[in-house]
Structure 1
Amino acid sequence: MTAQTGWKVLSEQKVYETNWLSVHHYECVAPTGHETIYGKVHFKQHAIGVLPVDEDGFTYLVGQDRFCFGAYSWELPEGGGPLGEAPLDAAKRELAEETNLAADHYIPLMENAHFSNSITDEVGYAFLAYGLSPCAGEPDQTEDLAVRRVHVRDVMDMMDKGEITDLFTHVMLLNAYRLANIGKLPEYIANAFLAR
């Protein structure tokens, strides 16, 4: 049963489960004292994202068909990491799986970020990766991926034009831009985001 500060759980029923998530129905009392129902999607993995930036200020976008929206999506490398795995280890694996790249250095972009916290308990972690080199990745058998090398400023423009709809990608880019503005990124990476 989920511990809820200010919420009182009267009953819980697991109504659906896969290897990645479970859906729960609750009868509960809200902090206001009102009896209500609540539904929660519990994730068995962390959301993991990586913003790779090479020495020329380019990043790598991954294209794939996204089931939930029935649409093709261009986004930064991302996926899931088991709850018991260190998020950085999962990020290294995702980067290799989706782009065949390894990185010498990682800078955290977000930690313990809550995605859609009104209906899920999904937690996300993201990293900016640099010092890139080729490596052999082990692709996921369910993913048919395309990879594009695009300058980070052009990716920001794609985001502004609505060509990138993935929110995780938006947040990684915007947080990297913020870090560039406050001097928290290596100079050549900061210049890639800021120079016009």
Structure 2
Amino acid sequence: MASEHDLPPQTRIGPWGRHATRSVYRNPWIHLREDAVIRPDGNPGVYGVVEFSHIAVGVVAVDDSNQIVLVGQHRYPLNYYSWEIPEGGCHKESDSPEQAAARELREETGLEAKRWDYLGCLALSNSVSDEVAHLFLARDLSHGPAAPEPTEILQVKWISLKEACRQVLEGKITESISIAGLLRARHFLEREKSGLPKTEYRREV
């Protein structure tokens, strides 16, 4: 059994040790690597990690009547139809999450917003991937034409924020970015309405 003192400091990842890594698969969106590790119990093992080239974004767009927009589409990996807040992403080396959020909102729904608030970040699957999402609240909306990507067949509907949060709690909305975004938006708006200080969310997990 290896001791943690047998591993040079640069290979320590918390209680884990990493002494080798290899690339298994890569495409423009993800990179799968396999690390040879020393586990916290001191035994050797392997750990697969999915690295994402993009940062995810999600937008809760709220109008003056406290209605929010949801986007419906079929999700290929789980083969089911999902209602979600407008979402997308940006390459880590290109535009900012704020720019990506505005672009995705416009492309998927035709909406543009004059007022933006940050609702924090999420670690989406931190046991196997480094994917992170940033959440935004969009208000003072104006309508225009949508321009979804060719791979997207989308439906758009408006429901109250209260109803959307009820669907989250009843398990009808199951996508993680939407769940966190809707609940944080409700929390943010309730604090604002009560005159409480704005929640200052961290921009890193």
TM category (shorter chain) comes to 0.7 to 0.9
Contact 1:179/1:185 (<8 A) preserved: no
Residue in 2 aligned with 1:14?
23
- The residue matched to 1:24 in structure 2 has which SS? strand
1:5 to partner: Cα distance: 3.9
1:68 to partner: Cα distance: 1.1
Query: Does 1:38 pair with 2:51?
Result: no
1:34 to partner: Cα distance: 2.5
Residue in 2 aligned with 1:98?
108
- TM, length-normalised to structure 1: 0.87
Residue in 2 aligned with 1:191?
none
User: How far apart are the structure 2 equivalents of 1:184 and 1:37?
Assistant: 50
- 1:39-78 alignment to 2 at 5 Å? 39-78=48-87
Amino acid at match of 1:176: A
Indicate which of 80, 90, 93 corresponds to 1:81.
90
User: How far apart are the structure 2 equivalents of 1:125 and 1:89?
Assistant: 11
- The residue matched to 2:13 in structure 1 has which SS? coil
Query: Does 1:141 pair with 2:150?
Result: yes
- The residue matched to 2:171 in structure 1 has which SS? coil
Residue in 2 aligned with 1:194?
none
Q: 1:46 to 1:91 in 2, by over 3 A?
A: same
- TM, length-normalised to structure 2: 0.83
User: How far apart are the structure 2 equivalents of 1:155 and 1:3?
Assistant: 43
Larger CA Rg, structure 1 vs 2: 2
RMSD: 2.2
Segments of 5+ residues of structure 1 without an aligned counterpart are 188-196
User: How far apart are the structure 2 equivalents of 1:2 and 1:29?
Assistant: 10
Cα offsets for 1:1-37 (capped at 9, x unmatched): 9973443222211111111101111111134433111
1:71 to partner: Cα distance: 0.4
Segments of 4+ in structure 1 off by > 4 A?
184-187
Residue in 2 aligned with 1:157?
166
* Identical-residue share of aligned pairs (%): 34
Residue in 2 aligned with 1:116?
125
Residue in 1 aligned with 2:139?
130
